[in-house]
Each structure stands twice: as C-alpha cells, then as structure tokens.
Amino acid sequence: MTGNREIHLASRPAGWPTEANFRLVETDVPTAGPGQIVVRNQYMSVDPYMRGRMNDVKSYVPAFALDAPLDGAAVGEVVASEAEGVAVGDTVLHGLGWREYALLEARAVRRVDPSLAPVTAYLSVLGMAGLTAYAGLLEVAAMKPGETVFVSAAAGSVGSLVGQIAKLKGAGRVVGSAGSPAKVERLKALGFDAAFDYHDGPVRESLRAAAPDGVDVYFDNVGGDHLEAAISAMNLHGRAAICGMIAQYNDTEPPAAPRNLALVIGKRLTLRGFLVGDHNNLRDAFVSDVSGWLRDGTLSYDETIVDGIENAPAAFLGLLRGENLGKMLVRV
Amino acid sequence: MTGNREIHLASRPAGWPTEANFRLVETDVPTAGPGQIVVRNQYMSVDPYMRGRMNDVKSYVPAFALDAPLDGAAVGEVVASEAEGVAVGDTVLHGLGWREYALLEARAVRRVDPSLAPVTAYLSVLGMAGLTAYAGLLEVAAMKPGETVFVSAAAGSVGSLVGQIAKLKGAGRVVGSAGSPAKVERLKALGFDAAFDYHDGPVRESLRAAAPDGVDVYFDNVGGDHLEAAISAMNLHGRAAICGMIAQYNDTEPPAAPRNLALVIGKRLTLRGFLVGDHNNLRDAFVSDVSGWLRDGTLSYDETIVDGIENAPAAFLGLLRGENLGKMLVRV
C-alpha cells in the first residue's frame, strides 16, 4: 500500500542546485502509534536557509540526510490521532514538510486557528518570516523612530514585512532593493519611500540616490555587494541585522566582500547576525502587533503558491532565483 | 629668532609612507597671548590612526594639512602662561605633539600629576591606549568572566593591556598574536595563556591550536586574516570589538577579507566598531581600576622610546612595521 509522496535529497548540490538533486518517492501513508498523530499537509514552506542544509557541513541546523525526506515548516489537517489534546480535523503547524502525510509526536505540533487567519499566514506573516522581520528590525537592529531603514530582498517574505513594520513603527524613510521592475513597483505600493532594482547599476550608487542622508539600519538578506554598499551608506552608530546572505549560498568559492569593513570603526557600526529562534521572547508582542495590523489592513503580505508536492523542488529553485513575490509556498 | 622644531606633512603617502613624506621645519618659539600657554613638550605619541589622517579623505578625524605640523597626544611642561589655573612648571597633557613647543588655549590641556605616575604613563596605560583597551573589552565586547579572549597586535600598547585586563577581570583564557618570537615571549611573561607569532603559519590554524574551545571575545587591532580567523573560531554569541585594522592601513587596493562573514548569522556574532572618544563615561572606573593595578603591580606596560623630534617620522614608520613593544613614544 502506498499513497504518500515525499521529496528526498538524492545528491548534494555543488553550487546551484538542480532538479536532479531531488527525488520524488512513493511510500505508505504512516500509521500513528501511541502519542502520535498523522497530518495531511496542505501547505509547506521553502526557505533560503534550506540551501545550507543541503551541504554536508556543521551548521546551526543539521544537514539534510541523503536518500531521506527533506523537512521544513508545514501546515495541515490531522487525519489520525492516538494522542490526547489533538483531534482529527485540527489544523496544525509543524516541521515535517516536503511530504503529503507527516507522522508526528503530538507535542511537536502547534494547533492554529484557521478561522483567525488563512492557514498559509501561519507559514508567512504570522510565522517564522514575520517574527524574523519583527525581531531583526526592532530587537537586533533596535530601530528607532525617525531613522532610515534599508532592506535587501525587500519583495521577499521577510523583506516586505521589514519595510512595512519599519513604517508602522515610525521609521523616517524606508528603502528596499529587489530584483525586477515589478517587485520595485510592488514595494512602492506597499509604502516603501524608495525602491530600486539591483540590476540597474552598482548597489552603492542606487542606494546613495535612494537614501541621500544615509542609512541608520540595514536589514541584510543578501550579503555581498549589498552589505558593502550598506556599510558605505551607513551613518554614525548605524546597525546591521544580518539575517541572510542569499547572494552567496550557491557560491563554490568563498565570497570576497565587504572590502570596506574598516569603516565600522570610524562610524562605530554594529553588524549583528541573528536567528529567529533566539527571539521567542518577542512572540506575544509580535502576535499582538501583527494581528492588529492585519485586522485593520495596514499590513499586507504576498504569497507565491506552487501547486503539487512534485513541484516543490522547482519552487525551491525558483526561490533561489528570486521568482517569488513574498512568501514562496507549495500547496501539497 | 627660531628655537622650535616641528614636523610637517610634506606630501601624502601612497601606500606605505616614507621619510620623504615628512619635513623637519624650524620656527620661532611661540608667545602666549591672553588665555594661552606655551608648553615645552617632553614626550609625544605616534599612533596607527595617524596613518588614516595622512590621506585626504573624510573620516572621523580631519585629515592632516599639507605643509603644516602634524598633531597628536603629547605631555610637557608649561614654560609660559597668560592663563589662570595653569602655572609655569605644571605638567600637562594635550593634543599638539610633533613639535618642541606648543601654543595652546589653557582650556585645551589637562594637568597631570608627575608624582603619581611617570609622565609617559599618561600617553599609554593611563591615557588613550588604556581607556581604549578597557572600554573595548568591557563595554563594547562586554567580556564576561570565564570567557576566552583573543587579541591581535597583542604586544602593542592597546593589545598588551587588553590581555592583562581580561585576566584581571576573570577571563578563562587569553590568547594573543604578535609579530616576533620576542613579542610572543613577552606576552607569556605578561600572563597570556597562549600566544603565537602570526608569521608562523595561517592565523586560522594558529588560533585554533591556541584556543581549541573557541573564542568568545575578539579584540581586533589588525583586520584582514586575523578577523577572518577570529570569525571562524568564534563561539555562539561571540562579540568582536573592532578597534583597528592596521594590516590594511597602507593598502592601495581595498582588502578582500573576511570571506566567511556569513558565519555571523548561524553563530549570532556581533561585530562592533568603536572609538575611545565615545566611552568617556568609563573614565572614572578606568582610572580607579588601572591605578589600583599599577599600585599593586598586577598590571605591566611596555614603552618603546625614540629620542629626538627629528626621529618622530622614523618612530611612526617603525610603529607601522611593528617595531615597538608596547607604546611607541618620542622623547622630544
């Protein structure tokens, strides 16, 4: 008996991954043992950090195993339960995406209320992307009202929230960079004061034109020339929250930027890397703020949804190429 | 009438400076006007940051002017005073080094007590170098007892104090790098737990051997491969206080390190540049701590003294080449 499909890591990518690094595998639908539940996944998340897990190196999360299913955030409906407190029909958020049916310990899932928000929101604006934006901007970079904020990959799931939250929290000017004219238009519609396509010229020049009085806070999703440009543009006592460096995740040689790092001394800059998992202390404030902004319509979020578990690898590859507007999700 | 000698900047260096960039000029001994004093300088400081001021670029301190005397910290004896509160015979600390006689507004000097400490100490352990070490280690990097501290240029005026203050404040392990076997021996005599000569192999390997359990705090005076090695060695939530990057001050091309900056994300590292001038809030605690340590003999400081104002350029060039042990000073 089969009936479940899942995506395995078939080989480790060298440089840019391809479809050949993934394999669609048919297996049996799992059966719940004591304390366990089975979830029929509805949506799963693909995220840039997964690229790092495809390498066989020690990192902050374990590497994916070869010839085994990938994992990551997902939401779905409980179809079998041998556990108290979780009932068939419940909608739950958990960490076993990349498969149609997930077998989980009941304590490893979090029940969410599909009447409060679309279930996909728990994978984006109300989930990890939202808290990442909120914590990075307000706690790691400690943005203050009136400051100028620059965010890269600004049309992505995290970046688009960073810019909007900055405005809602009183930033004086918010600038975003993105990878297409359509994304730039979208940023302006979302309330960014300025936005540019990083293909249009050196980031340093585009940023200087967009933020002529300099940058106080840089939210980095990209690294490379974006970080170098931000360091050049930053004002005294500027802070960078380093969230990601997607520009170099597929590099096979170590990258060589930023060459202007010595500026951190005279400008007294702080560059701080962070992971959202360290900031759960902010969860209550985050949920309260974001729920309110969603209710009154002041916060928007975009989703790019790909259909079918068999297309999850393509969705992930598209994410790395920047083909998404907002959160990239797979409808399982 | 002449009688005063001073050093002018004759031309701006491209890359490594040479004696030809400086000029010894004879001028008149200045005369004090109302509110002014004349100081016969006894000692002057040469410091790495002065290299940056020789370039004609905007920075945190103004560029030195061409065909005018350089300036910098000095101590000397008041030989003429037209000001209240400063008397002939007083010893004062001020900012007009690189000359035998300095004309100053009385409010621009600080009286120091030569009976409490040798006057040179006010240019080193009790001066800017001491406060830089103290503030960078304890406030910028927020070192906690038990942590492992790594400092580069560790036999220099700041570095040697960083290592000793770290031990006195309870660091678990202190590691220093320096540029000669003699300096390495000196660091061990000063109480460093481990020290290495950076010429002996890749800094990354030497540091790993010297700090096998990783580094919590890195005090950076060097930049380049030292910073890259420190980022690789740093433990979760490590902090780097970025004080200087002497390795690249004479570069004519932008440097290309660190290539491993993406590690700041997973390891949640903080890199923070600082200038001592922002940390005067610590001055009372600093003077109290350091005076006590000097009195009870637990803190040592080295000085390398070059004789004669005419040799000040050579002293500065020697500093850039690492020929000093501890603070490089010129006896005027």
Domain ranges of chain A: 3-123+301-331, 128-278
CB distance A269–B272 less than 8 Å?
yes
With a cut of 60, say whether residue A25 has pLDDT above it. Answer: yes
Residue B254 CA to residue B296 CA, distance in Å, equals 45
> For residue B61, how many other CB atoms are within 10 A of its CB?
13
> For residue B209, how many other CB atoms are within 10 A of its CB?
12
CB distance A272–B274 less than 8 Å?
no
CB distance B272–A264 less than 8 Å?
yes
CB distance B223–A266 less than 8 Å?
no
Averaged over B56-81, what is the pLDDT?
92
CB distance B242–A265 less than 8 Å?
yes
Average pLDDT, chain B: 94
Helices (H) and strands (E) in chain A, counts: 9, 15
At B1 the pLDDT is 57
Residues in chain A closer than 8 A to B264 (CB atoms):
242, 271-273
Q: Which residue of B has its CA nearest to A236?
A: B60
Q: Confirm whether the ipTM is greater than 0.85.
A: yes
With a cut of 90, say whether residue B257 has pLDDT above it. Answer: no
B60 in A contact zone (CB under 8 Å): yes
Domain A128-278 sits in CATH at 3.40.50.720
Residue B1 CA to residue B29 CA, distance in Å, equals 8
Secondary structure class of A93 (helix, strand, coil): strand
At A240 the pLDDT is 98
Q: Could you tell me the pLDDT band of residue A203, with boundaries at 50, 70 and 90?
A: very high
Averaged over A66-76, what is the pLDDT?
97
Q: Which residue of A has its CA nearest to B247?
A: A262
Residues in chain A closer than 8 A to B60 (CB atoms):
265-267
With a cut of 70, say whether residue A256 has pLDDT above it. Answer: no
Residues in chain B closer than 8 A to A258 (CB atoms):
261
Secondary structure class of B41 (helix, strand, coil): strand
Distance in Å, alpha carbon of A241 to nearest chain B alpha carbon? 9
With a cut of 90, say whether residue B76 has pLDDT above it. Answer: yes
The domain defined by A3-123+301-331 carries CATH number 3.60.20.10? no
CB distance A243–B265 less than 8 Å?
yes
A156 in B contact zone (CB under 8 Å): no
Distance in Å, alpha carbon of B89 to nearest chain A alpha carbon? 37
Contact B49, B221 (CB under 8 A): no
With a cut of 70, say whether residue A1 has pLDDT above it. Answer: no
Q: Which residue of B has its CA nearest to A249?
A: B262
Residues in chain B closer than 8 A to A260 (CB atoms):
254
With a cut of 70, say whether residue A200 has pLDDT above it. Answer: yes
Q: Is there a shared CATH topology between the A3-123+301-331 domain and the A128-278 domain?
A: no
Secondary structure class of B328 (helix, strand, coil): strand
Interface test with B, best of A237, A264, A280 (most B CBs within 10 A): A264
CB distance B271–A264 less than 8 Å?
yes
Distance in Å, alpha carbon of B120 to nearest chain A alpha carbon? 26
At B256 the pLDDT is 62
Residue B168 is encoded by which pair of tokens? 């006195």
Q: Could you tell me the pLDDT band of residue A257, with boundaries at 50, 70 and 90?
A: low
Residue ranges with strand state E in A46-197: 74-81, 91-94, 101-105, 110-111, 148-151, 173-178, 194-197
Averaged over A248-266, what is the pLDDT?
80
Check residues B1 and B300 and name the one with the higher pLDDT.
B300
For residue A272, give the DSSP letter.
Answer: E
Q: Say which of A258, A262, A273 has its CB closest to residue B268.
A: A273
Among the ranges given (A20-29, B57-66, B174-183, B193-202), the one the predictor scored with the smallest mean pLDDT: B57-66
Domain B3-124+301-331 CATH (choose: 3.90.180.10, 3.60.40.10, 3.90.550.10, 3.40.50.2000): 3.90.180.10
B205 in A contact zone (CB under 8 Å): no
Distance in Å, alpha carbon of A261 to nearest chain B alpha carbon? 8
With a cut of 70, say whether residue B295 has pLDDT above it. Answer: yes
Q: Say which of A259, A271, A273 has its CB closest to residue B256.
A: A259
**Per-residue pLDDT reduced to its tens digit, A112-121:** 999 888 999 9
What pTM did the predictor assign? 0.90
Strand-strand pairing, B327-331 and A327-331: unpaired
Tell me the residues of chain A between 225 and 244 that have a Cβ less than 8 Å away from chain B: 227, 242-244
With a cut of 80, say whether residue B58 has pLDDT above it. Answer: no
Q: Could you tell me the pLDDT band of residue A58, with boundaries at 50, 70 and 90?
A: confident
With a cut of 90, say whether residue A297 has pLDDT above it. Answer: yes
Residue B104 CA to residue B113 CA, distance in Å, equals 19
- Location of structure tokens 């992930």: A316
B58 in A contact zone (CB under 8 Å): no
Secondary structure class of A169 (helix, strand, coil): coil
Residue B90: which of B136, B130, B165, B37 has the closest Cα?
B37
CB distance A261–B227 less than 8 Å?
yes
A254 in B contact zone (CB under 8 Å): yes
Strand partners, B91: B77, B112
At A247 the pLDDT is 79
As to burial, measured by CB atoms within 10 angstroms (0-12 exposed, 13-18 middle, 19+ buried), residue A280 is: exposed
Residue A245 CA to residue A224 CA, distance in Å, equals 7
| Beta-carbon contacts of residue A252 (< 8 Å; ≥ 6 apart) | A14, A15
Check residues B253 and B97 and name the one with the higher pLDDT.
B97
Residue B171: which of B156, B187, B192, B188 has the closest Cα?
B192
Residue A220 is encoded by which pair of tokens? 């980095």
At B62 the pLDDT is 85
Secondary structure class of B247 (helix, strand, coil): helix
Under 8 Å CB pairs connecting chains A and B tally to 96
With a cut of 90, say whether residue B147 has pLDDT above it. Answer: yes
A266 in B contact zone (CB under 8 Å): yes
Interface test with A, best of B261, B263, B270, B279 (most A CBs within 10 A): B261
With a cut of 80, say whether residue A99 has pLDDT above it. Answer: yes
| Long-range CB contacts (within 8 A, 24+) of A294-300 | A294/A117, A294/A121, A294/A125, A294/A126, A298/A164, A298/A168, A299/A125, A299/A161, A299/A164, A299/A165, A299/A168, A300/A160, A300/A164, A300/A190
Q: Could you tell me the pLDDT band of residue B328, with boundaries at 50, 70 and 90?
A: very high
Q: Could you tell me the pLDDT band of residue A253, with boundaries at 50, 70 and 90?
A: confident
Q: What is the dihedral of CA A149, A150, A151, A155, to 10 degrees?
A: 100
